[in-house]
Structure 1
Amino acid sequence: MSAVPAPEPARPRRRAGVSVGALAAELGAAPPPSLTDLEATVSGVTLDSRGVEAGDLWCALPGANAHGADYVEQAVSRGAVLALTDDAGAEACARAGLPALVVENPRRETATAAAVVYGRPAQHLRTIGVTGTNGKTSVTTMVHRTLLALGRPSGMVGTSGTEYRDATGTDHAIATVRTTPEAPELHGILARMLEDDVEACSMEISSHALVLHRADEVVADVACFTNLSQDHLDFHPTMEDYFAAKALLFTPEHSRRGVVCVDDEWGRRLAHRAQVPVTTYATLPGIEADHVAREILPDDYGSVFTVVGKQGAPAQRRLRAALPGRHYVANTLAAVLLLEAIGVSGPEVDAALGTAGTVPGRMEPVALAPVRGVVDYSHTPDALEKALTTLRSVPGTRRVICVMGAGGDRDRTKRPLMGEVAARLADVVIITDDNPRTEDPAAIRAAVRSGIPDATNAEVHEVDGRGSAIELAASLADVGDTILVSGKGAETGQDIGGIVHPFDDRLRLRDALAARPGPGDPQADGGH
């Protein structure tokens, strides 16, 4: 396995920048009266006063608890030459002697500023934007890895991080913390990819990013909608608001065309509501779409299926999903259609996708026998149901043991729903801690457990400590059983009380299964 490259900055190396006067004109803002040299160059953009570099435009935005302008002294000390802010922040900037462009909505204009300063890089790359409650990481990773397998320089931005391979075959990583980075980071990343001759970039576009203007000034060549189910109701007031946020991606401001899964009612609504041309796909019986997956059959740990056109048109192709389950059939079909939309198609693409379409932390097997161990990011009721249903259907499966929980400081209404799903579909449920963040872990576990009916047929345990829960699952497992550790996927840390501790479900599960007594061990049959 090749070494993971050291993280690089979310900025291009070469930055010509733009003059203050030209930037003010692009934003429709009055030039700062305190700045006499309108030809002064702005060469970078950031929101974080701690990340300011000499020559930067610093965007001082209003926040929920404080105003960015409260940190103007730090921005000035680090070399900011200009601020972008609102009336509330302008006074603090003036006191600190930092010229400012004052606009009504600085968060929205931040994206425009970043695009202008970095030379509008999104216009020079082939871009794919993927949204949906589940499947964003899977689809973007499948597209990215398939392009790499074909020898094409490609980049990916999303939950699992930001990475790209340049035209020389060198791999790069950029540290990002959000599914969709803030606009200055996003445009800086795209500019860095562009200067390294990357051809295409696949991006996860979250509903938060669409509402908060993080993805503004990126018009994707093609956008994809995977599905919608309950999540993020701590941010969106209702499911209708959540849907409306996702639908923004399918407007001319954000994409040129769309690929939409119509397996659920939300997708069917979106296909009619989209303001750009849309191609539809489906995997469920009785659903009409432009492309439909049929004859889905198991193939080792994956599936093979046939893609047919509308109204029973002749088979177009036989494809392979590298991971099990109908939802990965859907993800594979989405990836094929997205690649076609950017001009990448042919038998070699189908073959590459069938082997390259695996995703770290998504139905990832860490052991296959005598006990199958699987780690999956499923952190919503719908995703957990799909994961458990899929694993139960894998030939030779005896029992399914599910280690699960729910994240703190996030949508609380889904917690009992996830408990209900786990108890309905797993034989053994071990409720434990996910990322409790600032909440009491015991209270989160209790909320999850409250959704499990008293008359459940499942064996239910509650375990304080995720490592202990995984060890319990391994000790309870017998030959032919499958353990699913859900919720965190490929994450390598666990947030407890605001401190991120090293923790990787894959390593913990692998170690726990390796330590499990073998058939010849006296402990295996209770000792002597």
Structure 2
Amino acid sequence: MEIEKLADVIGAHVLRAPGHSAAAAPVTGATLRAQQVRPGDLFAALPGIRVHGADFAQHALDSGAVAVLTDQAGIDRAALIEHPAVREGRVSLLVHDDPRGVLGAASALIYGDPSSRLKVLGVTGTSGKTTTTYLLESALQAAGFGTGLVGTVETRIAGDRLDSAFTTPEAPDLQALLAVMVEHRVTYVPMEVSSHALAMSRVSGTKFAVGAFTNLSQDHLDFHRDMEDYFQAKALLFDGRAEHEVVCIDTKWGERLVRPHTITVSTAGDATWSATDVRAYPTGEQTFTAHGPDDLEMHVRLRLPGPFNVANALLAIGILHAAGVPTWAIERGLAEVDVPGRMERVALGQDFTAVVDYSHKPGAVAAVLDAARAQVDGKVIVVLGCGGDRDVAKRPLMGEAAARRSELLIVTDDNPRSEDPADIRAAMLAGAQEVPAAQRGDVIEIGDRRAAIAAAVERAEPGDIVVVAGKGHETGQEVAGVVHPFSDREELAAALRLCLGQRPKEPEETDVRRGQGDEEAS
């Protein structure tokens, strides 16, 4: 991509050292991380809360960046303007009032506008994004399409797996991923779209075949001013950038997104797509009939429990139908899905149910425990913590939701990050104690998460269900800036083996799925 063309398209002003008017080398890549610059890259030096990206320009320019996109404040930074490559005219400076806002469009241009050659299916909402994208991917594969996947647990390119750092990658990384997907003959890309990504323009420059909305409940109020600000960020996906829009209207937030052309889904009322004859089975499976436009019906079987997964599946059906996927492939694909860390069973022959789930917000905790209650006749035992350096207001609400819906709540640590874990647990316990004694089960505190999981298993009896909630697929626990290896699935399995008197699993037998989540993680 030639510098002048790039600047013209994004509306940036090009600066070069006096006496150096000749065009610089063309841009062949883009990044906003100085340490990841390769020769030929555009380095996006963005303003931040504490530092400015231009302060790291020396590393980027020494590594071969041929252009820098920044604002006027960045231009004034000595690390940039005094670098020999800038003074000698070997680097072009692209100046824009909102460099982050145009970075997505710039990255799309540099990587050949890959989303125009793909059908990107974007899913936003508080809960259900990951499950919905896995449902989409399975149905698309059943239909024989080449697929990619972008989300919290992992990124997949035509079956090859990559770790995910963010739910939705930064704009240059996203466009690079999409370009590689084009090279690998991918045609459909289910993608989770976080509120952070929308608010921070990470998906600017991305064309969506379908934009979809699951639900909204309290979360991320450490980033958003309030629920209305959170909603408005999600609503950006429905500003006309998607060819089709599919919205679950089971909440007031979804109803606000409906326009004349919107495809609606609902488990409880009239909509373009609705569900009847829902039947849940003790195995956790469930079936229902989906009713769509022109009297279309689909008979759906899911391995995933809970009413919220009926809503997720119905949303997936609406997306897939809008994208032109045949009915038979949708039915087959949805029946084959298990989602890592989402009501994921750990079954080693014990006489009670044990599951790991990613629920880390009040609404999700309530929904998961209601689903757990419907699966068993015995007690509901839940292990739950809250993440540090995140929305503090949700902690007592999560404690309250768990205490109200369980016979035993074990409050423990999640990812305390830089906070004192005891303070986080205290906030959760305060919420739990607000529930009248007659309306809640026992509540105990065990800070060590491994010990908390073991205690839950020790207390389980035939017919009970143990729910280890909060971390789901994650394979690390962040404490005081250090990420220690930790998997709820592996710890739950280890506790079950000990309970059953089985030998410990050897390290080489362990199936570790990487992925530590992002700003939309716990």
- Does the TM-score normalized on the shorter chain lie above 0.5? yes
User: For residue 59 of structure 2, what is the amino acid of its counterpart?
Assistant: Q
Residue 273 (structure 2) aligns with: 291
Following the alignment from structure 1 to structure 2, what is the Cα–Cα distance between the partners of residues 446 and 30?
A: 53
Residue 111 (structure 2) aligns with: 118
Following the alignment from structure 1 to structure 2, what is the Cα–Cα distance between the partners of residues 132 and 218?
A: 18
User: For residue 59 of structure 1, what is the amino acid of its counterpart?
Assistant: A
Deviations along 1:57-95, one digit per CA (max 9) or x if unpaired, are 000000000000111111111111110000111133221
- On the 8 A contact 2:135/2:333 being kept in 1, the answer is no
Following the alignment from structure 1 to structure 2, what is the Cα–Cα distance between the partners of residues 32 and 176?
A: 36
- On the 8 A contact 1:423/1:429 being kept in 2, the answer is yes
After TM superposition, list the pairs within 5 Å mapping 1:35-114 onto structure 2.
Answer: 35-38=20-23, 40-92=25-77, 93-96=80-83, 97-98=85-86, 99-114=92-107
After TM superposition, list the pairs within 5 Å mapping 1:475-490 onto structure 2.
Answer: 475-490=458-473
Residue 286 (structure 2) aligns with: 303
- On the 8 A contact 1:111/1:215 being kept in 2, the answer is yes
Structure 2: state its 5+ residue gaps.
87-91, 503-522
Moved more, 301-310 or 338-347: 301-310
| 1:319 and 2:300 are equivalent in the alignment | yes
Deviations along 1:22-51, one digit per CA (max 9) or x if unpaired, are 111112223323353326210000000000
Q: Percent of aligned pairs with the same residue?
A: 43
- On the 8 A contact 2:143/2:325 being kept in 1, the answer is no
Following the alignment from structure 1 to structure 2, what is the Cα–Cα distance between the partners of residues 376 and 203?
A: 20
Residue 6 (structure 1) aligns with: none
Residue 256 (structure 1) aligns with: 243
Change beyond 3 A, Cα 1:57–1:297: same
- On the 8 A contact 1:391/1:397 being kept in 2, the answer is no
Using structure 1 for the length normalisation, give the TM-score: 0.89
- On the 8 A contact 1:432/1:469 being kept in 2, the answer is yes
| 1:198 and 2:198 are equivalent in the alignment | no
Following the alignment from structure 1 to structure 2, what is the Cα–Cα distance between the partners of residues 423 and 318?
A: 36
1:497 to 477, 480, 486: 480
User: For residue 151 of structure 2, what is the amino acid of its counterpart?
Assistant: G
Residue 446 (structure 1) aligns with: 426
Residue 281 (structure 1) aligns with: 265
Following the alignment from structure 1 to structure 2, what is the Cα–Cα distance between the partners of residues 37 and 201?
A: 40
- 1:387 Cα offset (Å): 0.5
Following the alignment from structure 1 to structure 2, what is the Cα–Cα distance between the partners of residues 496 and 54?
A: 36
Following the alignment from structure 2 to structure 1, what is the Cα–Cα distance between the partners of residues 328 and 350?
A: 33
Residue 354 (structure 1) aligns with: 335
Residue 366 (structure 2) aligns with: 385
Moved more, 470-479 or 95-104: 95-104
Change beyond 3 A, Cα 1:74–1:314: closer
The alignment partner of 1:145 has SS state of: helix
User: For residue 78 of structure 1, what is the amino acid of its counterpart?
Assistant: S
User: For residue 431 of structure 1, what is the amino acid of its counterpart?
Assistant: V
Following the alignment from structure 1 to structure 2, what is the Cα–Cα distance between the partners of residues 125 and 316?
A: 28
- 1:268 Cα offset (Å): 1.1
Residue 13 (structure 1) aligns with: none
Following the alignment from structure 2 to structure 1, what is the Cα–Cα distance between the partners of residues 5 and 162?
A: 29
User: For residue 236 of structure 2, what is the amino acid of its counterpart?
Assistant: L
Deviations along 1:402-433, one digit per CA (max 9) or x if unpaired, are 00011111111010011011111011100001
User: For residue 152 of structure 1, what is the amino acid of its counterpart?
Assistant: F
After TM superposition, list the pairs within 5 Å mapping 1:136-215 onto structure 2.
Answer: 136-165=129-158, 171-215=159-203
- On the 8 A contact 1:225/1:259 being kept in 2, the answer is yes
2:321 to 328, 340, 343: 340
- On the 8 A contact 1:324/1:390 being kept in 2, the answer is yes
Using structure 2 for the length normalisation, give the TM-score: 0.90
Following the alignment from structure 1 to structure 2, what is the Cα–Cα distance between the partners of residues 163 and 397?
A: 39
- On the 8 A contact 2:72/2:95 being kept in 1, the answer is yes
2:399 to 403, 416, 419: 419
Structure with more contact order per residue of length (Cα contacts < 8 Å, sep ≥ 6): 2
- On the 8 A contact 1:250/1:257 being kept in 2, the answer is no
- 1:335 Cα offset (Å): 1.3
| 1:406 and 2:386 are equivalent in the alignment | yes
| 1:23 and 2:13 are equivalent in the alignment | no
- On the 8 A contact 1:227/1:267 being kept in 2, the answer is yes
Following the alignment from structure 1 to structure 2, what is the Cα–Cα distance between the partners of residues 493 and 518?
A: 27
User: For residue 411 of structure 2, what is the amino acid of its counterpart?
Assistant: I
- 1:315 Cα offset (Å): 6.6
Deviations along 1:277-328, one digit per CA (max 9) or x if unpaired, are 31001112xx221111111001432110112358xx8571211122011111
User: For residue 499 of structure 1, what is the amino acid of its counterpart?
Assistant: V
Return structure 1 stretches of 4+ with deviation > 4 angstroms: none
Residue 328 (structure 1) aligns with: 309
Following the alignment from structure 2 to structure 1, what is the Cα–Cα distance between the partners of residues 9 and 292?
A: 45
- On the 8 A contact 2:139/2:332 being kept in 1, the answer is no
Following the alignment from structure 2 to structure 1, what is the Cα–Cα distance between the partners of residues 116 and 189?
A: 12
- 1:219 Cα offset (Å): 2.2
Moved more, 39-48 or 363-372: 363-372
2:357 to 376, 390, 399: 376
The alignment partner of 2:167 has SS state of: coil
Following the alignment from structure 2 to structure 1, what is the Cα–Cα distance between the partners of residues 330 and 313?
A: 11
- On the 8 A contact 1:210/1:249 being kept in 2, the answer is yes
Moved more, 341-350 or 32-41: 32-41
The alignment partner of 1:328 has SS state of: helix
Count residues in correspondence.
Answer: 487
Root-mean-square deviation (Å): 1.7
- 1:464 Cα offset (Å): 1.3
Following the alignment from structure 2 to structure 1, what is the Cα–Cα distance between the partners of residues 236 and 291?
A: 29
- On the 8 A contact 1:256/1:277 being kept in 2, the answer is no
- On the 8 A contact 2:408/2:441 being kept in 1, the answer is yes
- On the 8 A contact 1:32/1:101 being kept in 2, the answer is yes
Following the alignment from structure 1 to structure 2, what is the Cα–Cα distance between the partners of residues 411 and 388?
A: 21
